[in-house]
Structure 1
Amino acid sequence: MADNTEVKYEYRDHPADVQLHAWGNTLEEAFEQVATAMYGYMTELSKVEITQTEEISVEGHDMESLLYQFLDECLFVFSTEPSFLVAKRVEITSFDKTEFKISAKLH
């Protein structure tokens, strides 16, 4: 589970925007880290207090589309009412690598 004490991501310059480069000991951890990196790029996570949790579930047709859908849903939770949630910690609770499904908690 990714948190603000163990950062396993970095930002890389890109002509159009920024690249999020994340890693972990498992694929689940890498996905958690890249979602945390996205939130960290949008705001200062050190100033974020965990006051709520949002559960999300996504599906893809391959691993790349699963990552895209996962980040897209994290962004949706960030930018829509009633949540406007900035996740300081991302926890994948279920990761089906054959059916390309993820369930996660955003804290």
Structure 2
Amino acid sequence: MTDVLVMPRHLAIRILHEAQIAQPESIRGVVAARAGEPAAFLKNRDAVADGDALWANLWSHPQAEAIPLTSELRDGLLSLVVSLNTKGVLEMRAWRLIAGTAQEQVLKIRD
């Protein structure tokens, strides 16, 4: 059974906005967590503050689906992929590399 990942709406909106304004380039960064909850999008992994933890790697695919290449994933680490290749709707999906296979995780957005 897969755990459900939950992200605050304000953070999801920030990430999608960053991906949108970067077009046609992709964005790369990380999501930092405070007290186990995703809390901030950072463009540099080194910017994760003391007391915070790495929650996920993140990047966008401006011209492709929100499906990672296996080579983009790191074993066990959560990865978020944003797609801008949709008509009027931005898409963000969560993935983990488990036993060499990309497996999608359930990602929910909460208010």
TM-score tier (shorter): 0.3 to 0.5
TM-score (norm 1): 0.34
More helix by share: 1
More strand by share: 2
